[in-house]
Structures are given as structure tokens and as C-alpha cells.
Structure 1
């Protein structure tokens, strides 16, 4: 065996991984409280309320662990589209395919396409950027790319919270001429990045049939259901949709420029009042909370594809609104602001910065621009002469962690309420990257952003299908009782279902 292949085989880790989110909570870490215990992210859910649901839930949001062998192998991702056809000599390279076997079979890292793309680009030095949960595979993928592309690689070690953290600037500064970004969709278009970029969504194959059977067990035929998830499971949602639309009135919504069914922690679609039952496919609550915040009328359910649990999820909107209103009212008395521009990847937005600068100047308020890659309570406490802060990084940082800061830490939307650009919204907006956002305190407002095609040709923002089955009344949410919220046994047989979705986009 080739020495490189021997090293790859010896270094591989195929037993278990922690299914951490590819877009973790926010751009800060908890600090110790006065009692010495770490602060927790505000998740809008009290323990007492969770207990009354009669549903088993983890003590913390990230308490899940998954064995890769437990995820059904034949529920894996489909092959790429013809438009991205990889040469046969790469697809059937025996040594390359042997190396790929060192990676979990149900995680589609699109190695063949990566090799072909790097070769086509004539790249010499390739940057690989992973979210925390996928770094376990970084060395193996790096070795494969170096071996079969004849290039130098480097793994970018800075934390990657989400699609907004793509770090093309640093890649260029380090002398790279190609960047592969794993685990997120093309939030920053490939025609905007400063380097040739390949997005690999890392589609994860799951037991789709078990998910379908779980939905059918818990909801009556004819119910109106909304299906959403993170980018890794969008393909699974589209596969399940083909079968579920026979019995249900489905909505697979879209908040452009995201793909249909895709939601982010800061961006999700706003749904009509007559659509009130949501099913989220994914582990953890962070992304789910986004669409719950943006649609407080929804009855939300979460299907975890790793442990196959189906749970009713709730959010304390009143408590969150109270905390944020208090921060806004306090900030209205501020005389000097710290205007924080996030420098982690492309989190910061110059257009929002300029908009907020103008508002501060118009009101005669003093301010100082602060550049930070990560925002911590202890760091901001050093700026003693500031009365309040506005952060242009991640809106969820203010929502989830704002209470942990000694002085108000506002999102651009909250700052706009302070400056009276917009009144307080009774439904807190989650439209930070949406093309159809409320105002210029969001990234894409007023722009005609066209994301590279990553969805099937539904042609509409809200892909709805209606059937002959009798639907429930609009005012009645088909919410099962707590005792009914359960998934089937793991014995449900999964089948491989093809999906028209490609798994990545290349400049």
C-alpha cells in the first residue's frame, strides 16, 4: 500500500463524533457568574416548562453524541448533477476511493469534486475551512487533497460559527489561491469572495424513512405542516417531501438568498398565521429558535436525526422581549457608544456600519469604532467610558448573551429602535441576511442578491402542495398531545431516496 494511504488509514477516526452544529450559537463564550458558575445562553426555555411537556430533553443543548455507524448507510447523499460532472478517471481512481473510505460514508465531503475543482483551477496552495464539529476530519481531508492534487494545504484554525465566517481575506493573506469552505451554504456568493471558492455543504445522509414514519405517526392526514432544517439536511427534507406531500399540505418555505427549507440562526422566513405547525429537522435548538422568534404563533417540533427523538419545543418570547426592551431603554440614555464591527470572516458589514455611523452623527452622539473578531463581556468591560455598545457581527449575540454584559449590547435592529428609525416590532425580526428585510440595518436590504442555484426548480419562495386530503381548519394547529410526540423504533427500514439538490457551488 502507498505510504500516504497507510498513514490515512492509521489516522482515521470512524467510530464516533459529536454532532456539533456547523453554525454554533453566537460569537462569544460564557463567562463565570458571581457564584462561579458559567453563564448560559438565553434559550427562551425554562426547566419547569420543559418538564411539563412530558418529553425527555437533554440537560444542555449540546448534550447529544452520535455513533456514525448508527446512521443508516443507504440513506446517503445522491450523486452530483451532470453540470458538475467529474471525469471518470477521478471518480474511479482506486487509491482516491480507498482514501475516501477513511471518512464516514454518510457525510458527503465531495472529495472527487474537490480534487477536480482544485485541478481545474490550477491551484498551488489550498485553504480548508471547517466548522468546529467537522475539524475532526480536517487532517484526513488535507492529506487527501495534497496527495491527489499535488498542492500545499493549510487548515484555517480560527473558529467558524457560520456561513458568515468564511475567511477569504485571511486565505489570500496567507498566499492561498483556492479556498474550500465546509458545512455552510453560499451566504457570501462565490462572485464576491476574493479567492476562488468551493462551498461543500457536507450533506448528511439520514434515515429518511424513519423521519417520514415519525411524522405520519404524530400528525393526521391533511394537516398543514412546515418543513425546515439546516443545510446539511435540506436534501433529506426534499426527499421526505416527495412522500409526505401525498398525505399532507406542505410548505417548504424560503428566505432568499437561502435555499428552500434552509434556515440560519439569524435568518428565517416569516410565515402566515394560518400555517401554525413547524417540523425542524436537525440537532440542537439554535437554528430552530430563529424561526420560532420570527413566528411566535408556531407550534414547533424538532426531529433529531441522530438519536431519532421527536420533541415539542417552546420559546419564552415574553422573557426575551422584556430583556431586549430593557437594554433598548437603557441605551436611549447613553451619550457615548462603542460601535463594534465584527472581523471574524465576513461577519461585519461596512454598509450597516456606515448607516449606523450616520444615525449617531445625526443625533450628535459620540462613538468609537471597535474592531473585534469575538465579543466577550470581559473585553467590553475594559471600555469603561462607553455607555452602550452596538455590535455588527451576529444579531443572536445580543438576544442570547446580551444579559451577560454589564452595559447594553444592541443588535443593529435594536439600535435602529433607539434611533427611532423603526418602532419596536411585536414580532422580533430574524431577517439579517434576507433579501426582503425591514431596513438598511440588515446586510442585503435593497440588494438584488442572487445566490448560486442550490435548489430544485420550484420557482417560488413558498413551495406549497395541496392535495385531495381534507385539511384541518386554519385556526386549528394539528398539535399532538405530549404522549403522542414520539418517534418510531429504530427498526424502521430506510431507503435511499434521490434528490435533485446539488451539494455544493463553485465559482
Structure 2
């Protein structure tokens, strides 16, 4: 468990961003080809867009000025560069684009392809270099049996090489299936996530070959935990078999589900503002949490870290609503566990049983999704208590299934304050307030008139990092006579 929940302020000045310059097209290719300047200009002019937001990841910011200048030169549009995104750079930052009143977004680099709905969108993945011949040779070495059932997945930045790879392997490997990108031209040039051209589910004898970066490899291995995985690294042109302990990883996630079952207060972390239907899954989570007698609070804090979440000790477990690539966190260093919407639904909905399957995309949990399970209460009466045993503490725990009350005045049934008359209000039980009342320290208290009145004394001389009496007197040429007289005063003076 992490003991320190605050970072050293000096680290901010020393922090650097790791940038892989090999991602930048200005080092080895023409910018017009890499960033598809002609296609982007056609997208802007054909739709008569006047304000265009250009979203770049950190590794491509080195070329953002050149790309912006090229687009403005060939179109009548004004471009705005979005660099520091609110959440992960793989997601489309529609909120930042709306702040400048953009008509559309052009997203550059790697993307999770999560669906968006607010603004027209065009993806420019780029063309990261890859040796297709060496990739095919590594594939043949990993899969000597030409009858093997293999699904080939890839990062979107290598989509330009898939046709060449398919020509090299298609004739000799009849059971190889290539994942494809399906363009949705009704909403700009946005794309849907990977669709696999097969009608059969992945069986135990199915192999999955993934090449590109390892951002999504863990998610794939968790989701298709009955398959064997191999990967190819385009930077080193080497392939290898992946061998993480799936059973151990799944049991670790199951432990997080048990922690969610024991929780009384749940914090819902908003990890995206651009993925479609994120508000729907938040409402579904709030309703599921309420029905089992738990309290929920919603937090919108941008990119999460350990110090941020450590400020709320009354929260027993957090559930992160984000895109599939950013939702699966290793919460070992956090003060409280961070679970996914699927894990929280499993903890709350007794009709969803743990079967070893794993879902990282919350779209599948919504009504109409492939893994949606109704939270029915037909077999329970109102406020019916169900009791089971915690696998962590061994104690009995009770879940109070509550039906949704029907409001009589048209107001929301989840309101925490209910108006009784013009002058009197009644507040429901608040878990956070109850937790605060039990603390020994509840914040700064003025205590006027209680503290004794004493005479003011002269304080320390110098600056905060080097007081004179500490033997580390600082001589600053810019401030040769820097002496601050500080006075220590007690309350009430």
C-alpha cells in the first residue's frame, strides 16, 4: 500500500515526456503523405468546415505546426491544435474541440476507435514503418502448421500494410482471418472498431497473432482467455509467444469484484467525455448501486492518479468509466480498488454470474448490447434483504434490494434533499457526512475566544528553503538584502 499520497513539487521541474521520434513523419517521410494532407483538405472543403480541431498525441506534436500550416494554406478553415488531452490521447477529445467552437475534429495517430457522437470526425492513423517480409517470415516461424486457425490483429497505425501481408499469407494459410476497419461515412470519415470476418466464436484451438504496440494486448488476452497469443514487434522485427498467467490475472480481477461487493460507498470516476453512451452507463451504474443499498458519488477529475483518489477516504471502491484501453487499471498502488463497469455490475447484479469471461467495453453492458443482463426485481419484494458471506473478511453481508419509488411531484427519485414545506427540509442519510462526523479531525476550526492571547514575536529571516539560523544562508545577487520579518500570531490577535 502506498504510504505517501502527495508528490514532490520539485519533480514537476524535472519531469520529461518520453517521445519516440520514429513516430514522426518529418524524420523519414514526406509530411503530406504521412498526415494525408490532400485527403484531409478534401474532407474539410467538401463539408465547408470553417473551424477544425487537430488532435495530436505527444509523440506527434513535433509536426503539428507544419500540418496546421499546410491545411490552412489549402483551405479557408481556421485550425486549432489540441495537444494536452483531458483523458487518454487515444480517445477523441470532443469537449476541448467544443471549447473553441470547432465544426469537426481530425484525430492523428493511434486510436482506440471508441464511437463518438458530437462532432464529425476524421481519423489519420499515419503510416508507421514495418517490414512486411520479415513480419510474414516471423509468422511462418511461429505457426509452422499451415492449417492453424489464426486471427491477426494490429494497431491502426499499421493498417496500410495489411493488404501486402494478406497477399503473402493468404495462399498458404487458408484458415487465417484478418481483422478489418469498417469506415462509417455517414459521420465524416470515422471508423468502427475491429470487425473479424468470421461467424464462429473463438475456440480453444484458435491462435491470435497481434503486432504493433502492447497497449491493447492485455485487454485482448483477458477477453479471449481461451486462446493462445503471439506478437510481432515491428521495431525489432521479432516475434514471440505471449505467456502471461491468465488464471492469475482473472483471479486478481475477481478479488476486485469481491471488494466491490463489500463496499458501502462507491465512487464513479468519469474517465471520458467523448465516448458515446458514457452518460448511459453512468446512470445504469448509479441505479444498480442504489438498488443493492449502496451509496454512490460521481467524480470528474481528469487523468486519475494516486494522490487524487486518496483525498476521499470515505469511498470504499471506485469504478472507472473509460474507453476499453484505459479502463483496465492495476489498482495495487491505489488506496482503494479501481474496478471496471463490468466488475461493478457483477458485484451488484446477482443475475450476472462470474463465468471467467471478461468485458472491457461498457457498450456491451448497455441495453441492446451483446452482454447486457437485466437487473430484474420480479422475484424480490421491496426492501428484500439477501445475505451471503464475504470471501475476503468471512463476515456476513446483506444487500437490500430496493425498488425505484415513483415520484408524485415529477421530481427525480434520487434526490438527496426532499422538500417537506416552505420552511422545512429533510435530508436523507448521507454516507460521507456520517463518515466525516466520526473523524477525530474534521478540518481547521477557528475557536474564537478559546485560544490565549500572546504577544507577537519576530519570526524567521530569509526564504522558506534556507532560513538564516539554520546555517544555510542564501546569497542571491538579484535580491541582496532579502529579509522578511514574519510574525507569528495566535488566533484572536
Shorter-chain TM band:
0.5 to 0.7
TM-fit CA distance, 1:396? 5.5
2:99 match: 173
TM-fit CA distance, 1:103? 7.0
2:266–2:318 Cα contact (<8 Å) kept? yes
Q: Please say if 1:135 is aligned against 2:61.
A: yes
CA distance in 2, matches of 1:67, 1:369: 40
Instruction: Give the TM-score, by structure 2 length.
Output: 0.62
Matches of residues 216-295 of structure 1 in structure 2 within 5 Å? 216-220=140-144, 221-248=146-173, 249-253=175-179, 257-260=192-195, 271-283=201-213, 285-295=214-224
Aligned residue-pair number: 349
Q: Please say if 1:314 is aligned against 2:243.
A: yes
2:87–2:271 Cα contact (<8 Å) kept? no
2:107–2:122 Cα contact (<8 Å) kept? yes
2:128–2:158 Cα contact (<8 Å) kept? yes
Matches of residues 352-367 of structure 1 in structure 2 within 5 Å? 352-367=281-296
1:210 match: 134
CA distance in 2, matches of 1:439, 1:373: 28
2:272–2:321 Cα contact (<8 Å) kept? no
1:172–1:194 Cα contact (<8 Å) kept? no
Q: Please say if 1:198 is aligned against 2:122.
A: yes
2:342 match: 413
Query: Tell me, which stretches of 5 or more residues in structure 1 are unaligned?
Result: 1-30, 39-61, 70-99, 263-268, 442-507
CA distance in 1, matches of 2:18, 2:119: 37
Taking only aligned residues, the RMSD between alpha carbons, in angstroms, comes to 3.7
The answer to which structure, 1 or 2, has the higher relative contact order (CA under 8 A, 6+ apart) is 1
CA distance in 2, matches of 1:253, 1:343: 26
CA distance in 2, matches of 1:32, 1:180: 40
Matches of residues 24-103 of structure 1 in structure 2 within 5 Å? 67=22
CA distance in 2, matches of 1:428, 1:140: 43
> Which digits, 9 at most, give the CA deviation of each residue in 1:346-397, with x for residues without a partner?
3771111111111122122222122232221211111122122122124565
1:159 match: 85
Cα distance, 1:130–1:137 mapped onto 2, change above 3 Å: same
TM-fit CA distance, 1:440? 6.5
> Which digits, 9 at most, give the CA deviation of each residue in 1:320-348, with x for residues without a partner?
22322222212222221112222454377
Cα distance, 1:218–1:418 mapped onto 2, change above 3 Å: closer
CA distance in 2, matches of 1:160, 1:231: 22
> Which digits, 9 at most, give the CA deviation of each residue in 1:13-32, with x for residues without a partner?
xxxxxxxxxxxxxxxxxx97
Structure showing the higher strand proportion among its residues: 2
CA distance in 2, matches of 1:196, 1:272: 34
For residue 121 of structure 1, the aligned residue among 40, 44, 47 is 47
CA distance in 2, matches of 1:407, 1:35: 12
1:229–1:261 Cα contact (<8 Å) kept? no
CA distance in 2, matches of 1:236, 1:326: 41
Cα distance, 1:242–1:274 mapped onto 2, change above 3 Å: farther
CA distance in 2, matches of 1:261, 1:197: 23
Residue 353 of structure 1 aligns to a residue whose secondary structure is helix
Residue 286 of structure 1 aligns to a residue whose secondary structure is coil
Cα distance, 1:335–1:68 mapped onto 2, change above 3 Å: closer
Cα distance, 1:171–1:65 mapped onto 2, change above 3 Å: closer
Residue 354 of structure 1 aligns to a residue whose secondary structure is helix
CA distance in 2, matches of 1:258, 1:425: 25
1:227–1:280 Cα contact (<8 Å) kept? yes
Instruction: Give the TM-score, by structure 1 length.
Output: 0.60
Cα distance, 1:128–1:270 mapped onto 2, change above 3 Å: farther
**Greater C-alpha radius of gyration:** 2
Cα distance, 1:177–1:142 mapped onto 2, change above 3 Å: same
TM-fit CA distance, 1:101? 7.4
TM-fit CA distance, 1:414? 0.5
> Which digits, 9 at most, give the CA deviation of each residue in 1:282-326, with x for residues without a partner?
13x221222211122322211111221112212222332232222
Query: Tell me, which stretches of 5 or more residues in structure 2 are unaligned?
Result: 9-16, 183-191, 375-493
Q: Please say if 1:439 is aligned against 2:372.
A: yes
CA distance in 2, matches of 1:346, 1:431: 11
1:275–1:298 Cα contact (<8 Å) kept? yes
Cα distance, 1:240–1:322 mapped onto 2, change above 3 Å: same
1:343–1:371 Cα contact (<8 Å) kept? no
2:306–2:333 Cα contact (<8 Å) kept? yes
TM-fit CA distance, 1:270? 9.3
Cα distance, 1:438–1:167 mapped onto 2, change above 3 Å: same
2:318–2:336 Cα contact (<8 Å) kept? yes
1:168–1:194 Cα contact (<8 Å) kept? yes
Cα distance, 1:384–1:322 mapped onto 2, change above 3 Å: same
2:390 match: none
Cα distance, 1:151–1:425 mapped onto 2, change above 3 Å: same
